[in-house]
Every structure is written in structure tokens, then in C-alpha cells.
């Protein structure tokens, strides 16, 4: 099955009992048993719910794994994955991971003895040196936010395997439509489904897929024990969003390449970060491991004042955090998502005050281009 077909026919299609072509929303907490302990696959909705199960089967198919899991947010998904580890374990992570991932590792899980350190995983050679005796997992985000850095997943998974450590990939930016980390050697892939998978800025959710039965059983045990599950309504909304993921991602990409081309020729833009650009340092790796470059682009307009002026003038780009939805969003990472990172560290990473990040939506590209043009006129 090709990806666009899989988005619609993957997982569980419709409802056997009635012929409904959409999986029903099973708004239910418990299930009648035919005898004590004799149930029909569902006993209590924290353990399993038919609507959530359909979503979990769908994401499992889309990521080409063995088991799928749905959580109440991307961070709940990540926390559950980290609970596969134990006190005394160490995780080596991409240095510019999502801020919430950095926060949960350094402010919450550290208190339970799970240690994290950070390395530029785009530089594969630097990883080996950072592996410790107690390193149990490599956590990779690619592409990253807001600088769209790329990590070579195949190379990294090879290093992890050689050291008997797990490779975990945050695949939020690429989505399973463009990139499938499990097929490149990763063990666990996770998503903030709040972004492209949902796609309409109306649901917060997290998804995980694993490619090993034992890890699958362990993660189900954690999901059921800690209980951060996704409800049936939101599971249904996600499935509805996922059906159009293919056409959305194709359009996001088309609009983005038009905008990147426009920005590349603009005198007021000093730097553009987009993996689809041949000048991107990891363009070849991006091309090798993903089928598309996505709809996120960052560019530098030189100063905080200029960035603020652009943000004030745009009409079709909504000033907001988050990404991956039908409406275009714009942000200044230094003042918003990355404000908690000290200025010196931000400068080191390249997150300057004039850096603008856009999540290109599905509006008509001509309107987006005209809008940027008037906003950049200064
Ligand atoms: C948003 C995001 C998360 C966190 O997901 P939530 O659904 O907001 O909890 C994790 N990773 C990346 C890359 C994200 O963009």
C-alpha cells in the first residue's frame, strides 16, 4: 500500500458492526464482561478503548512498526517512553531538541535519577565520545526547531546498535508521510500529533510506535500504569486529520518552496534555514532519509526591531507558537519558544534576535508571498 492509500485504509477501516465508513467514537469507560475476566478485548478504557485502538493501529501502520500508542500530548508520550528507563540511566540527546523535551529531562526526570546530556547529533562523529557506560538511549530530533538541523538517522542508529542502546526519534516535523525512522534502524518513534498529524490546531495529542514486541508490551504496561491516555473524541479527531495528511504535506511543501525561493532573493534576508535548499549543510542526508522537506522555514532579518516590524505587518501569518496546521503561523523563537534559553547559549546555537520562524500553511501561495513582501518592505 502506498502512503496516501495507507492514510485512508491503514489501521482499522470503518465499523464492522454497522458498515459506517468512519470508526465510531466509543465514548465509554468500561465494558460488560461475559463472565468474570471473560471480556471481548476491552475491559476498561485506560487499558484500551476501541477508538483509541483504531488510531494506535493506524499510526503503527504509517510508521511501519509493531505497536502504536496514543497519549494525551506529545510530552505525555515522551515521558512514557522515558519510563522504559530506570534510575541511574543516561540519555544522550540532540542539543537543540524541542524546549519541552529539554525541560522534562532536566527539571523533572532528573529528579528520578534519569540523566540527560546534549550533543550536536548532526555531527555523527561527536556522538561516540559522549556515550557513557550508563547510556541507555539516544534521543534524536530531526529536523530540529527552529534551525532545521538534520541528523543522519541510519548512521546514528548504527552507532546505537553497536553500543546496545535504544534509538528514539521525535518525528514531529517530518511526519510518517515524509520520513519513517523505524525503517532506518530506530527502535522507537514519537510524535507531537498536535502538529501536522492533527493538522487543524484543534487537538493536543502524542503518538508512539515501536518495532519490538517486548518494548511494545513494556510501553503498554507503562501506558496503562501511569494513565496518560488520549480520549476517544481526540483519537477520532486525529484519525480524521490523518486521512488528509498526504495532500496537506504535499501542499505545505509546495507553498514552502515558493516562499523559500522568494526569501532567497530578498536583500533584507541574511540567512535561510530549510533542508530543501542545496546550500543546507545536510541537504544530501535530508534527501536520502526523507521523501520531503516539510513546511517549516526560518530566516534572519538582522535585528529584533526588524523581526518585530515583520510580525506586526503580516496579515495571513498568525503570531503563535505551535506549527503544522492549515493556517500559517509566525514566531520569533528568541522571544517566544526559546526565550528561556540564556542569550549567550541562544547566540551559540544561532538563534538570533532577528530569526523568524514560519510554519507555512495551506493558504494560496500568492497571498502568502504578497503578504511577506509588504511586511518585509520595512
Ligand atoms: C510540540 C512538540 C512536542 C510536544 O508535544 P505536545 O503535543 O505539545 O505535548 C514535542 N516535540 C516537538 C518536535 C514538538 O514540536
Atom of ligand 1 nearest to the CA of 97: 13
**Ligand 1 center to residue 321 CA distance, Å?**
11
Q: Reply yes or no on whether 98 is catalytic.
A: yes
**What is the pLDDT, as a whole number, of residue 76?**
98
Residues 282 and 352 in one domain: yes
**Gap from CA of 76 to ligand 1 centroid (Å):** 10
Q: What confidence tens digit (pLDDT) does each residue in 221-264 have? A: 999 999 999 999 999 999 999 999 999 999 999 999 999 999 99
220: CATH: 3.40.640.10
Q: What is the pTM of this model?
A: 0.97
pLDDT of the residue at 344: 86
Q: 170 catalytic, yes or no? A: yes
- Which tens digit of pLDDT belongs to each residue from 100-111? 999 999 999 999
Which tens digits make up the pLDDT trace of 16-56? 999 999 999 999 999 999 999 899 999 999 999 999 999 99
Nearest residue (CA) to ligand 1, atom 1: 192
Q: Are residues 239 and 252 in the same domain?
A: no
- Whether residue 186 contacts residue 161, with contact meaning beta carbons closer than 8 Å, is answered with no
Q: What is the pLDDT of residue 343?
A: 84
Q: Decide: 6 in ligand 1 pocket, CB within 6 A.
A: no
CA distance 113 to 103: 15
- How many structural domains are present in the chain? 2
216 and 250 belong to one structural domain: no
pLDDT digits (tens, 9 = 90+) for 53-92: 999 999 999 999 999 999 999 999 999 999 999 999 999 9
Do 228 and 348 belong together in one domain? no
352 and 324 housed in the same domain: yes
DSSP-assigned states of every residue in 291-329: S---SEEEEE-SSHHHHHHHHHH-SSSEE-S---SSS-E
Distance CA 265, CA 26 (A): 52
Question: Has residue 265 got a pLDDT over 90?
Answer: yes
Degrees, nearest 5: CA angle 297-73-189: 70
Question: Is residue 205 domain-shared with residue 328, that is, in the same domain?
Answer: no
Say what angle helices 245-264 and 232-243 make with each other, to 10 degrees: 60
Whichever domain contains 329, its CATH number is 3.90.1150.10
pLDDT at 337: 82
> Could you tell me if the CB of 206 is within 6 A of ligand 1?
yes
pLDDT at 370 over 90: yes
- End position of a domain, from candidates 243, 262, 289: 243
Mean pLDDT of 291-302: 97
CA of 167 to the centre of ligand 1 (A): 18
Residues 214 and 283 in one domain: no
Q: Is 143 in the pocket of ligand 1 (CB under 6 A)?
A: no
- Domain residues for 286? 245-376
Same domain, residue pair 236 and 250: no
Give the pLDDT confidence score for residue 200 in this predicted structure.
Answer: 97
CA of 322 to the centre of ligand 1 (A): 8
Angstrom distance (rounded) from CA 157 to CA 163: 10
Number of other CB atoms surrounding residue 276 within 10 Å: 17
Bridge partners, 90 (sequence order): 115, 135
Atom of ligand 1 nearest to the CA of 145: 13
Q: Which of 235, 237, 219 is nearest to 67 (CA)?
A: 219
Residues 71 and 220 in one domain: yes
Confidence at residue 273, expressed as pLDDT on a 0 to 100 scale: 97
Domain end point (choices 215, 243, 271): 243
Q: Is there a catalytic annotation at residue 306?
A: no
Q: What is the mean pLDDT of residues 145-159?
A: 97
**78 Cα nearest atom in ligand 1:** 10
Q: Report the pLDDT value the prediction gives residue 285, as an integer from 0 to 100.
A: 98
Q: What is the CA radius of gyration of the chain?
A: 21
* Pocket flag, ligand 1, residue 170 (CB < 6 Å): yes
Distance 201 CA to ligand 1 centre (A): 13
Residue at a domain's end among 197, 215, 243: 243
Cβ of residue 204 lying under 6 Å from some atom of ligand 1: yes
Closest CA to ligand 1's atom 9: 74
Contact 307, 293 (CB under 8 A): no
Q: Exactly one of 3, 4, 46, 271 is catalytic; which is it?
A: 46
Same domain, yes or no: 198 and 312 = no
- The verdict on 273 and 214 lying in the same domain is no
194, 203, 241, 298: residue to mutate for ligand 1 pocket, most atoms within 8 A of CB: 194
Any atom of ligand 1 within 6 Å of the Cβ of 160 = no
Separation in Å, CA 94 to CA 77, 97, 274, 296, 318: 18, 6, 18, 18, 29
CA distance 146 to 206: 20
Scan for cell 473524541, then name that residue: 233
172 alpha carbon – ligand 1 mean position (Å): 7
Predicted local confidence at residue 172, as pLDDT: 98
Q: Hey, whose CA ends up nearest to atom 12 of ligand 1? A: 98
CA of 121 to the centre of ligand 1 (A): 19
Give yes or no: 161 in active site. Answer: no
Co-location of 219 and 149 in the same domain: yes
Q: State phi, psi for 10 to the nearest 5 degrees.
A: -75, 170
Pocket test for ligand 1, best of 80, 94, 195, 198 (most atoms within 8 A of CB): 195
Amino acid at each position: 500500500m502506498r502512503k496516501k492509500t495507507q492514510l485512508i485504509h491503514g489501521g482499522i477501516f470503518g465499523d464492522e458492526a454497522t458498515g459506517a465508513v468512519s470508526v465510531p467514537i466509543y465514548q465509554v469507560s468500561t465494558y460488560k464482561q461475559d463472565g468474570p475476566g471473560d471480556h471481548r478485548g476491552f475491559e476498561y478504557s485506560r487499558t484500551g478503548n476501541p477508538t483509541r485502538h483504531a488510531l494506535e493501529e493506524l499510526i503503527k501502520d504509517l510508521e511501519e512498526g509493531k505497536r502504536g500508542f496514543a497519549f494525551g500530548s506529545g510530552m505525555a508520550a515522551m515521558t512514557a517512553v522515558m519510563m522504559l528507563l530506570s534510575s541511574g540511566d543516561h540519555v544522550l540527546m540532540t542539543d537543540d531538541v524541542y524546549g519541552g523535551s529539554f525541560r522534562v529531562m532536566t527539571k523533572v526526570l532528573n529528579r528520578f535519577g534519569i540523566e540527560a546530556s546534549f550533543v550536536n547529533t548532526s555531527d555523527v562523529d561527536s556522538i561516540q565520545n559522549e556515550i557513557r557506560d550508563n547510556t541507555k538511549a539516544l534521543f534524536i530530533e530531526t529536523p530540529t526547531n527552529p534551525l532545521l538541523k538534520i541528523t543522519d538517522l541510519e548512521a546514528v542508529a548504527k552507532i546505537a546498535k553497536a553500543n546496545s542502546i535504544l534509538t528514539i526519534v521525535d518525528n514531529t516535523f517530518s511526519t510518517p508521510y515524509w520520513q519513517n525512522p523505524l525503517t532506518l534502524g530506530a527502535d522507537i518513534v514519537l510524535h507531537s500529533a498536535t502538529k501536522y498529524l492533527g493538522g487543524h490546531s484543534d487537538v493536543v495529542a502524542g503518538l508512539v510506535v515501536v518495532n519490538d514486541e517486548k518494548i511494545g508490551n513494556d510501553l503498554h504496561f507503562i501506558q496503562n500504569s501511569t494513565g496518560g491516555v488520549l480520549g476517544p473524541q481526540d483519537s477520532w479527531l486525529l484519525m480524521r486529520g490523518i486521512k488528509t495528511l498526504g495532500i496537506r504535506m504535499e501542499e505545505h511543501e509546495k507553498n514552502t518552496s515558493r516562499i523559500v525561493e522568494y526569501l532567497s532573493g530578498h536583500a533584507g534576508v541574511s540567512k535561510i534555514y530549510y533542508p530543501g535548499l542545496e546550500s543546507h549543510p545536510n541537504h544530501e542526508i535530508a534527501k536520502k532519509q526523507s521523501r520531503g522537506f516539510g513546511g517549516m522555514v526560518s530566516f534572519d532579518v538582522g535585528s529584533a526591531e526588524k523581526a518585530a516590524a515583520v510580525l506586526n505587518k503580516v496579515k495571513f501569518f498568525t503570531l503563535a507558537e505551535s506549527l503544522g496546521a492549515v493556517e500559517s503561523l509566525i514566531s520569533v523563537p528568541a522571544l517566544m519558544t526559546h526565550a528561556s534559553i540564556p542569550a549567550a547559549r541562544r547566540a551559540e546555537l544561532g538563534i538570533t534576535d532577528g530569526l523568524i520562524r514560519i510554519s507555512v500553511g495551506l493558504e494560496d501561495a500568492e497571498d502568502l508571498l504578497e503578504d511577506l513582501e509588504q511586511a518585509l518592505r520595512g
